[in-house]
Structure 1
Amino acid sequence: MMMRAVVGLWVLSAVICVGRGHHHLGHDDDKAVQDTVVDGSANSVSLVNEANKEFSFRLYRQLAAHADSQGKNIFFSPASVSTALAALSVGAQGETHRQLFSGLGFNSSLLTQTDVDQAFQTFLQRANNTSQEDASEGTAVFVDKIFKLKPEFLQTLKQSYLADGFNVDFSQSTKSADTINKYVEEKTNGKIDQLVEDLDANTFMCLISYIYYKGKWATQFDPKLTKQDDFNVDENTKVSVDMMNLEDRLHTYHDRELNTTVLQLPFNSSYSMLLMLPDVMATLENAISPNHVTKWLKAMMRPRRHDVYIPKFSIRTSYKLNDVLTEMGMTDMFDGHADLGGIYEEDWFGLTVSKLVHKATLDVDETGAEAAASTAILIGRTSDLPGDVLKFNRPFMVIITERNTEKILFLGKIINPTI
């Protein structure tokens, strides 16, 4: 499906559904806490930001190596997943908390949970207070009427993760799923309409985080120049695509270490899409790191005239992240040993993350790019080349980033733009 004239990037993150008409819980401001955040350590924010960027590429490599990803496009929102897991860590304790911090790349000797919470509040406030683009980020918590959250947990979600709060009856699984999905659909302007499915009586809580961004290319492609052309999936496979064309002064960089040409396509905002065309895909995806992104953006000082060809495409991806995150060291929350005592007041034993699903979409056309992603964490009781012509007509990688902070909203690999 091709996108409308006004282009949008949507990310929806984190549904944490904890094992079994809705009512708004309220959303009070705490100015003292906000002032503390404003005056907080810039170093902590920087450490969390760097950890988030490192997590982006570690998660990408885990996804790329997974058997289910072989021969398929990869596209996901690391910002979505990290926000979800950071919000979950607020209520985690003991070894479960240690594994979440370690898996996210947070150094517990340098960062406390409060540091992490305040950093995410800074990120979310920055996204919501921007004046140059239409953007919003936040979270919500849906709680079963028999499940009592600890006041400290709810307070932190509201203050640091900008959470809305609602009561639902998870014994009415269809109705509660509809309530959650309606909220999500509204927050993502209709891009994500079926975030949660298959809820059962073991569900007690759903924690959702979302990201929304809308923008257009700074320099748009002329639709009259879009022509049918071949895209080389591999040595033996070609597919026909609508190839867009733009001739303009653009920022590019050739990374000799990775044998990769990088093109920056800025949106009409502080965000950009980086498209990376490697000689050998494995060389790029096995080595790429936040340092490479920093180097590329700094090296792109002088634009040069290029004749650029990029396929017009729409893709959808879906991942079950249980195994992937387990391989990254976050094991206890999946195997029945989850210590989530910081979330609930009563002694609820046997709670576990039963399923962690991530879905994403990306649409690219002449006016810009539209992306969406959602992460669902279900928690319940244990039941059982450089030059004048630059043509992206073979597999390439893509990043959508904020140029000033280098925050990575989306990351992926396009193997076949027609699937």
Structure 2
Amino acid sequence: MHRTLCLLLLAGYLLLSHGQPAQESNNTSNQTYTEFSQLNVSSSQIIAPGNADFAFRLYHLVAAQNSEKNIFFSPLSISIALAMLSTGAGVDTQTQILEGLGFNLTELSQPEIHEGFRLMQGMISCPSPEMDISVGNALILSQDLQPLPEFVSTTEASYNSKVLLGNFRDMKATIQIINNYVKEKTHGKIKDFIKDLSPNVRMVLVNYIFFRGLWKKPFPSHKVTVSNFYVDEKTIVQVPMMLQDDKEHWFMEDRRVPCTVLRMEYQGDGATAFFILPQKGKMEEVEHMLSPGMLERWNHMLQNRNFYRKLTLHFPKFSIANSYSLEEILPYLGFQDLFTQHADFSRINEKEKLQLSKVFHKATLDVNEVGTEAAAATGTSAMFFSAKHKKHVLVFNRPFFAVIYSTSTKNILFMGKVFNPTA
């Protein structure tokens, strides 16, 4: 009989803004930064292909259910939390989780996968004066639930997990512990993450990712004007539209995919962003073509100096937030048994039959005058603009896609679709 439930919570926050990066108090020293900067970069990138595969499979599934809605989530946050959970799973359940996350276990061993996550989180979280990125995890355990020492040590070593104890008979107090933790780690941007818990819950796994970046080329505040954003043929909304006039940016018009790709850079070298603007009437066509290979292609091509040109850029200032109950989605991605009685989490606790109940994910995106990034792709079919003095104007006044990308680890931090910036 399943006496307990395992609840997995995930939280993500991305801020693209004009303020200074928050200085989160920690004891990380320059020695830690040097340690990670000297690591074999390929070791930290070994899990990137699997993470990208999972990110786009998840995106397409969410998009199929939300065709005319904003979409925004952190695939990396979800991958980290599920990979951490797999360390407490029996062999069959562990295999299902890791294969569902996009890993080929004949090519990558389980220790290599967990080591890849450890190195990746370390590299992302290295302190930088220009950028604030933090990734972390927490286990909130019932006071009477004794996890196996091996599970605790593995999650601490590979996932930098913190262990918190809660009185699950006092659900209000436990919820407050969880919400306070998420609020603190996302700098107050995600509040009241959960409102209630099932009486049977004995353990909660939390993963968070926080990102605050400053534009390398900020938008002047005095040039923000109210403009039309064409959601669809019948819907027009008013948005604050930022303007950058005659600044150099990385961008290209793709002849293989009917869209324009803009890469905007952050201060520092830790992350960059792609904004993909489909041609009018081509939103669904471009969305169906989105893939890891397409992102890799754009990323490669937009390092060609021919695509670094002066541009008059109109970009909306907006804030969106999305929440997802992933237990309704993950079974379609290969996690068939994860929320059933067939799941085996005996490596967390041998005495009690733990069953995963819920997977919540929440992410928010703020874009204003001083924060966003870009990256690009590869392929000979892109259109070259050789006329250096031609006036280029790019107006993001209709739905577009966004990908926030870790340049050091080659992982997708956040991705989504801005369908209606006022929704």
TM-score range, shorter chain: 0.7 to 0.9
Task: Tell me whether 1:201 sits opposite 2:204 in the alignment.
Answer: no
Shift of 1:121: 0.7
CA distance in 2, matches of 1:41, 1:95: 31
Shift of 1:298: 2.1
Asked if the contact 1:134–1:214 (Cα under 8 Å) also holds between the matched residues in 2, the reply is yes
Distance 1:406 1:253, change over 3 A: farther
Shift of 1:137: 1.5
Distance 1:390 1:177, change over 3 A: same
Task: Tell me whether 1:395 sits opposite 2:399 in the alignment.
Answer: yes
CA RMSD of aligned residues (A): 2.4
CA distance in 1, matches of 2:67, 2:313: 28
Distance 1:359 1:112, change over 3 A: same
Percent pairwise identity: 37
- Of residues 406-415 and 42-51 in structure 1, the stretch that sits farther from structure 2 once superposed is 42-51
Asked if the contact 2:45–2:409 (Cα under 8 Å) also holds between the matched residues in 1, the reply is no
Task: Tell me whether 1:185 sits opposite 2:171 in the alignment.
Answer: no
CA distance in 1, matches of 2:330, 2:192: 23
Which residue in the other structure is 1:332 paired with?
337
Which residue in the other structure is 1:251 paired with?
250
Task: Tell me whether 1:289 sits opposite 2:291 in the alignment.
Answer: yes
Asked if the contact 1:7–1:369 (Cα under 8 Å) also holds between the matched residues in 2, the reply is no
Asked if the contact 1:313–1:364 (Cα under 8 Å) also holds between the matched residues in 2, the reply is yes
AA partner of residue 91 (structure 1): G
CA distance in 1, matches of 2:77, 2:204: 15
Task: Tell me whether 1:273 sits opposite 2:277 in the alignment.
Answer: no
For 1:280-314, what per-residue CA distance to the aligned partner results, in whole angstroms no more than 9, with x for missing partners? 12222212122222222221222100101111111
Which residue in the other structure is 2:79 paired with?
82
1:6 corresponds, among 9, 19, 25, to 19
3-state DSSP class of the match of 1:157? helix
For 1:357-391, what per-residue CA distance to the aligned partner results, in whole angstroms no more than 9, with x for missing partners? 21111111112159xxxxxxxxxxxxxx9861101
CA distance in 2, matches of 1:150, 1:210: 24
Shift of 1:4: 6.3
Task: Tell me whether 1:365 sits opposite 2:381 in the alignment.
Answer: no
Shift of 1:43: 5.9
CA distance in 2, matches of 1:162, 1:38: 18
- Of residues 333-342 and 391-400 in structure 1, the stretch that sits farther from structure 2 once superposed is 333-342
Task: Tell me whether 1:123 sits opposite 2:123 in the alignment.
Answer: no
Structure 2 counterparts to residues 10-409 of structure 1, below 5 A: 45-66=44-65, 69-132=66-129, 133-247=131-245, 248-270=247-269, 271-279=271-279, 280-300=282-302, 301-302=304-305, 303-346=308-351, 348-349=352-353, 351-369=354-372, 388-409=392-413
Asked if the contact 1:144–1:205 (Cα under 8 Å) also holds between the matched residues in 2, the reply is yes
CA distance in 1, matches of 2:371, 2:259: 23
Shift of 1:135: 2.3
- Of residues 149-158 and 44-53 in structure 1, the stretch that sits farther from structure 2 once superposed is 44-53
Shift of 1:3: 7.9
Asked if the contact 1:95–1:332 (Cα under 8 Å) also holds between the matched residues in 2, the reply is no
Distance 1:70 1:299, change over 3 A: closer
Asked if the contact 1:170–1:200 (Cα under 8 Å) also holds between the matched residues in 2, the reply is no
CA distance in 2, matches of 1:78, 1:144: 28
Asked if the contact 1:148–1:345 (Cα under 8 Å) also holds between the matched residues in 2, the reply is no
- Of residues 48-57 and 282-291 in structure 1, the stretch that sits farther from structure 2 once superposed is 282-291
Asked if the contact 2:140–2:166 (Cα under 8 Å) also holds between the matched residues in 1, the reply is yes
For 1:148-195, what per-residue CA distance to the aligned partner results, in whole angstroms no more than 9, with x for missing partners? 111111001111101111211111100011011111211111111222
3-state DSSP class of the match of 2:153? helix
AA partner of residue 231 (structure 2): V
3-state DSSP class of the match of 1:192? coil
Aligned length: 374
AA partner of residue 69 (structure 2): K
Shift of 1:402: 1.8
CA distance in 2, matches of 1:99, 1:47: 19
Shift of 1:136: 1.9
Structure 1: runs of 5 or more not aligned: 10-34, 371-384
3-state DSSP class of the match of 1:335? coil
CA distance in 2, matches of 1:402, 1:71: 28
TM-score norm. by structure 1 comes to: 0.84
CA distance in 2, matches of 1:110, 1:393: 44
CA distance in 1, matches of 2:298, 2:75: 20
Shift of 1:201: 2.6
Asked if the contact 2:37–2:123 (Cα under 8 Å) also holds between the matched residues in 1, the reply is no
CA distance in 2, matches of 1:113, 1:151: 19
3-state DSSP class of the match of 2:262? strand
TM-score norm. by structure 2 comes to: 0.83
CA distance in 1, matches of 2:182, 2:114: 23
3-state DSSP class of the match of 1:234? coil
- Of residues 47-56 and 171-180 in structure 1, the stretch that sits farther from structure 2 once superposed is 47-56
- Of residues 295-304 and 214-223 in structure 1, the stretch that sits farther from structure 2 once superposed is 295-304
Distance 1:199 1:335, change over 3 A: same
AA partner of residue 212 (structure 1): F
Which residue in the other structure is 2:12 paired with?
none
3-state DSSP class of the match of 2:211? strand
Which residue in the other structure is 1:12 paired with?
none
